[in-house]
Chains A and B, each alone.
Chain A
Amino acid sequence: MSVPAVGAATDPFQPAPGWDLLADVRELFTYAFMINAIEAGTVVAVLSAVIGWFMVLRRQSFTGHTIAVIGFPGAAGALVLGLSATVGFYAFAIAGALVIAAVRFDGRLGYRTESAVAGTIQAAALACGFWFSSLYGGFTGGASALLFGSFLGITAGQVQTLGVLAVIVLALIAMIGRPLLFASVDPSVAVARGVPVRALSVAFLLLLAVAAASAAQITGTLLVFALLVVPAATAQLLTARPVLGLGLGVAIGLAVTWTALVAAYYVPYPIGFFLTSTAFAAYLLAFLASRLRRRSRPAERAPTSDVVLEPVRS
């Protein structure tokens, strides 16, 4: 154990950061739960940033949030049945993604109906999850962790599952990356060129479900936005280049997650608060930076119409 620094709390269960960063970090890593948390956080951050990048491009941020919320009653229900919450999360999230894929929210129902349906689905899912968790042990029995995240109880088994799923999802993205990008950005032309746009949409929703259920194990079902959307959106604010944007999203996601985990270790506030705050801070900074950049480039904003007139044969 490191020597408590000046001003450190005397309570051994209340760690306090000293001035020696290296010693602090080493102290962190002496605890198994912290190692698990950091490993899980790393995997989740990478997976979420990659899927999130496509999600933001496809304007499906809200769908991701909805799928995560649908996972909540699955997790709570699994606990009631004596199964693992993680399994319930994934099962319901995937089922929810399939239902959403089947109903085809592609603008045909109209924006009003789509948002009313999404709002109702969220409320119904949360209501069912509430009932299940009241059967299981109530709020203190774990519903709070399911909703708002936790990093204290992550098991080595969870880390393994997350790792395996992440590898599978990332491998699939590596296989379908180009046609997925094509289908996301220019679906009409992609269809004409033989890209299976509809099948790719369904496949993406399933990958999204896995990513959302994975992220929810750390952020909680209500705060997946912080890892699934914000790092990728921040990256897209900073650059429109695909490969760079993906990489930047991953970097930002990792920075947000590690900062939040370390902060949550030293300061006894919930992990969900730290995750949303660091994510929000990153987004805010990028937002301001992009605004400043745009203002310093006034000449490029006004598009010139390059006119080449040729005589018309009559």
Chain B
Amino acid sequence: MASSLDGSLLGMLDHPFMERAFLAGIAVALLCGVVGYLVVLRAQVFAADALSHVAFTGALGALAVGLDPRIGLFVATVGIGLLLAVLGPRGRADDVVIGTVFAWILGLGVLALSVYTASAAAASNGGAGVSILFGSIFGLGEGAARLTAAVAVVLLIIVLALVRPLIFASIDEAVAAARGVPVTALGVVFMAVLGATAAEATQAVGALLLLGLLAAPAGAALRWTKDPFAGVALSAALAVGSMVVGLAASYAAPSLPPSFTITVTASGIYALSFVLPRPVRRRVRRRRERRPGIQAATP
């Protein structure tokens, strides 16, 4: 360990594995921040939770039959995402039905895990189960990191192109539909993107923890600003911040796994948002109340 924290952190990016982690991590965090805000706004956190189970089972299922886990990962998450969209906004209606189905899906994943662990392939890559559950961002190869970042950027472009009608449809579906916004089609596209986002996040922080990266920065942003567009930006910034801090912390203290530090940072920020009020708003309001041209003393 270097003598000072600054010294050790500055050397961080000299290591290729850190470079790759930052590349993939920041891209994924940006995506999760934006998509996560929309997920919370649309009250679809349960769907993200369900997709995290699907991600686990899809990836391990692919491994169990000898395929690249990412194939199973994306096929399963995007597929189930579309299915959820098609089944309609049954959303809050029955937590029990949803929970039952996705507990079963998780059970299938456990089966796939045991099948894979017992197979010969596992002898050479025993950690696959853990990486899928809890991420392995420091273990990304050059190609994998670039691919992850590229996919994240593509998804980000899609979402940002649709962000205005998406926000409109999320806040007031009926009015948006009346104004000609294709609410149903948007819903389907969004669920597909959410599925792919879950798949991306699985590679960074793992299936079990991706909900944190989607919900926590978004939750904090929602508490700190009521303007949805500012909220999207803030959520993305908080997610990236959590990723950067988490990666650096894990580098500085290797006994802390990166997905742990990232998740805890994001959760901590959300917890902070319950304690700290909305400072930006108050200042803005006070400024508006002062008459123009008068220099008020700073309080």
> Do chains A and B stick together as partners?
yes
**Interface residues, chain A, CB within 8 Å of chain B?**
56, 59, 61-62, 65, 111-113, 115-124, 126-128, 130-131, 134-135, 138-140, 144, 147-148, 222-223, 225-226, 229-230, 233, 268-270, 272-277, 279-280, 283
Contact between chains at B45 and A128 (CB < 8 Å): no
Complex: A243 Cα to B270 Cα, angstroms: 43
Q: List 11 A-B contacts (CB under 8 A).
A: A112-B43, A115-B215, A120-B211, A121-B267, A124-B267, A139-B130, A226-B107, A269-B111, A273-B111, A279-B103, A280-B104
Contacts of A140 in B (CB 8 A): 126
Choose, from B15-23, B67-75, B254-262, the stretch at the interface. B254-262
Per DSSP, chain B at the interface is helix
Contact between chains at B216 and A116 (CB < 8 Å): yes
Summed over the interface, the residue pairs from A and B with CB atoms below 8 Å come to a total of: 158
Complex: A177 Cα to B1 Cα, angstroms: 60
Q: Contact flags (1/0) for B241-285 with A, using CB distance below 8 Å?
A: 000000000000001110110011011001000000000000000
Contact between chains at B219 and A113 (CB < 8 Å): yes
Contact between chains at A277 and B107 (CB < 8 Å): yes
Contact between chains at A277 and B216 (CB < 8 Å): no
Complex: A272 Cα to B57 Cα, angstroms: 13
Contacts of A135 in B (CB 8 A): 255
Closest CB of chain A to B139's CB: distance in Å?
14
Contact between chains at B41 and A112 (CB < 8 Å): yes
Complex: A168 Cα to B216 Cα, angstroms: 38
In the complex, the chain B residue whose C-beta lies closest to that of A287 is B97
- On whether A111 and B100 interact (CB within 8 A), knowing A116-B45, A119-B48, A124-B267, the answer reads no
Contact between chains at A119 and B260 (CB < 8 Å): no
Complex: A123 Cα to B255 Cα, angstroms: 19
Q: Which 8 A-B pairs have the closest CB atoms?
A: A123-B212, A276-B107, A116-B219, A119-B215, A127-B263, A115-B45, A280-B104, A124-B267
Contact between chains at A112 and B222 (CB < 8 Å): yes
Closest CB of chain A to B133's CB: distance in Å?
8
- CB of B96 within 8 Å of the partner chain: yes
Interface centre among B99, B100, B259, B266, by most chain A C-beta atoms within 10 angstroms, is B100
Q: Which of A61, A139, A148, A283 contacts B110 (CB 8 A)?
A: A148
Contacts of B110 in A (CB 8 A): 148, 223, 270, 272-273
In the complex, the chain A residue whose C-beta lies closest to that of B135 is A130
Complex: A16 Cα to B297 Cα, angstroms: 86
- On whether A225 and B99 interact (CB within 8 A), knowing A123-B209, A139-B130, the answer reads yes
Interface centre among B40, B129, B208, by most chain A C-beta atoms within 10 angstroms, is B208
Q: How many residues belonging to B are interface residues under a CB distance threshold of 8 Å?
A: 52
Q: Which of B92, B211, B222 contacts A111 (CB 8 A)?
A: B92
- CB of B238 within 8 Å of the partner chain: no
Complex: A134 Cα to B95 Cα, angstroms: 32
Contact between chains at A127 and B107 (CB < 8 Å): no
Closest CB of chain A to B266's CB: distance in Å?
8
- On whether A230 and B259 interact (CB within 8 A), knowing A120-B270, A273-B111, the answer reads no
Contact between chains at A223 and B40 (CB < 8 Å): no
Contacts of B101 in A (CB 8 A): 280
Complex: A147 Cα to B100 Cα, angstroms: 17
Complex: A128 Cα to B99 Cα, angstroms: 23
Task: Taking A122-B212, A276-B108 as given, write out 18 further A-B residue pairs in contact, using a Cβ cutoff of 8 Å, ordered by the A residue number.
Answer: A112-B40, A119-B49, A119-B215, A123-B212, A123-B215, A123-B263, A124-B212, A130-B259, A135-B255, A138-B130, A139-B127, A226-B107, A230-B100, A269-B111, A270-B113, A274-B107, A280-B103, A280-B107
- CB of B106 within 8 Å of the partner chain: yes
Contact between chains at A118 and B257 (CB < 8 Å): no
